[in-house]
Amino acid sequence: MRIVVLAGGLSTERDVSISSGILVADALRKKGHEVVLLDVFTGYEENICDIDALFKNNYSFVDKINVGEKISDISEVKENRLDKSDRFIGSNVIEICSYADITFLALHGGEGENGQIQAAFDLLGVKYTGSGYLGSALGMHKGLTKSVLVQNKVLTPKGEVFKSAQEAEKWNTFPCVVKPCSGGSSVGITAANNKEEYVKSVKEAFGYGENEIVVEQFVKGREFSVGLLGGRALPPIEIIPKSGFYDYAAKYQAGATLEICPADIDEATDKKLRESAEAAYKALYLENYARIDFILDENGEAYCLEANTLPGMTPTSLLPQEAAVEGMSYADLCEKIIEISLNKK
């Protein structure tokens, strides 16, 4: 099979996306597929684009990357693009993806996960992995996610969406959590215990180029995540960050977080988490695969925090760990995602 693994882009999660893309491409090549690893933003900028040769030679735009404690310098990425264009989809990307049997979306955040690239591919007849444009849009916007979950009676922390720091001043319940509305990988997410900390958190959340933030009640408890394949929940994984907060560094620095899968929970709690994950998946119109995050409070209530429509596939990512508990290797998981996505299309 000829497969494009599409990574990179311009979101705050660019480095995470590239890390995922490198691993996915390598795994699929070891399975015997011809794979092109492509940056959606820079594309393939050579004067001559022999697409057949790119697949036969297993072209990659990058061989390795280290995900650090800080996010990518997007201005530098834009400056290095040869045509200096602001368009999101780079040179020859559509042509190369159209030549493939399917495009594996290893994108995270921004236009790669909010439904825009999915809608474009639908119009162009390009097959891809993951949710469609509607589920991607709902899952990416934390305010819409919360609204849909409430409407479908999926338990989620109480919260509000604010469009300015001035508007956000009316929030007066602490502790709370402040989030950029459409960010991922916990970029810009902070907890505030009082008004002074809250003001700093609001400024932080608005500092990532978004015009909306979500503020919600802080729920104290254990953190879990549940991956789904084809709408079926995988074994829950418990997340215990050593720093006490599951931020960007905790997610991608090896050894920064203790992850236990299968989680040390009783059968009833396992069932509750899986059923809640499947309910959220259905409510948000998700497709093919996803990951849903939860907080389990001291009373055993499972609060749905958010949905991940394109879960990470990095060395520290959660979905591959959950699949491994069911005996599925990383490479088998990549192929399974492709199989489910092709069947759906």
Summarised one tens digit per residue, pLDDT across range 188-207 is 789 999 999 999 999 999 88
Tell me the pLDDT band of 256, cut-offs 50, 70 and 90: low
- What is the three-class DSSP state of 211? coil
Could you give the percent of the chain with pLDDT greater than 70?
92
Q: What is the CATH number of domain 2-128?
A: 3.40.50.20
Q: What is the mean pLDDT of residues 3-10?
A: 96
Q: What is the CATH number of domain 147-153+220-344?
A: 3.30.470.20
Q: Token pair for residue 293?
A: 């995050």
| Residue 300 pLDDT exceeds 60 | yes
> Using CA atoms in the order 73, 248, 41, 55, what is the torsion angle rounded to 10 degrees?
130
On the question of pLDDT at 248 being above 50, the answer is: no
At residue 73, does pLDDT exceed 90?
no
Per-domain boundaries in the chain: 2-128, 147-153+220-344, 158-217
Q: Is the pLDDT of residue 226 over 60?
A: yes
Whole-angstrom distance, CA of residue 99 vs CA of residue 2: 8
What are the residues facing 76 on neighbouring strands? Answer: none
Gap between the Cα atoms of 109 and 8, Å rounded: 10
**Model pLDDT, residue 184:** 54
Burial of 205 (0-12, 13-18, 19+ CB in 10 A): buried
- If 0-12 CB within 10 Å is exposed, 13-18 middle and 19+ buried, where does residue 195 land? exposed
**Which of 9-13, 124-128, 139-143, 329-333 has the weakest average pLDDT?**
9-13
Q: Which fold has domain 158-217?
A: Dna Ligase; domain 1 (3.30.1490)
Of 53, 26, 305, 283, nearest to 184 by C-alpha is 305
CA–CA distances in Å: residue 265 to residues 91, 189, 200, 322: 49, 27, 36, 15
The per-residue pLDDT of the chain, averaged, comes to 91
Q: Examine the pLDDT at 316 and tell me if it is beyond 90.
A: no
Tell me which of 104-118, 169-183, 322-336 is least confident.
Answer: 169-183
User: Helices 133-140 and 142-151, interaxial angle, to 10°?
Assistant: 100
* 30 pLDDT above the threshold of 80: yes
Q: At what angle do helices 133-140 and 116-124 cross, to 10 degrees?
A: 170
Could you give the count of Cα atoms lying within 13 Å of 145 in the half-sphere of its Cβ? Answer: 30
Rounded to whole angstroms, the Cα distance separating 281 from 149 reads 10
Mean pLDDT within 21-27 = 97
pLDDT band at 276 (very low <50, low <70, confident <90, very high): very high
Describe the crossing of helices 330-344 and 318-325 by its angle, rounded to 10 degrees: 100
**Band (84; pLDDT cuts 50, 70, 90):** confident
Angstrom distance (rounded) from CA 196 to CA 203: 11
DSSP H helical segments within the chain, as ranges? 14-30, 51-56, 74-79, 93-99, 116-124, 133-140, 142-151, 165-168, 195-205, 248-252, 267-283, 318-325, 330-344
Task: Determine the pLDDT at residue 210.
Answer: 77
85 φ, ψ (degrees, to nearest 5): -75, 155
Distance CA 179, CA 289 (A): 24
pLDDT digits (tens, 9 = 90+) for 155-200: 999 999 999 999 999 999 999 999 988 765 457 789 999 999 999 9
Cβ atoms within 10 Å of 217's Cβ, excluding its own: 14
Helices (H) and strands (E) in the chain, counts: 13, 13
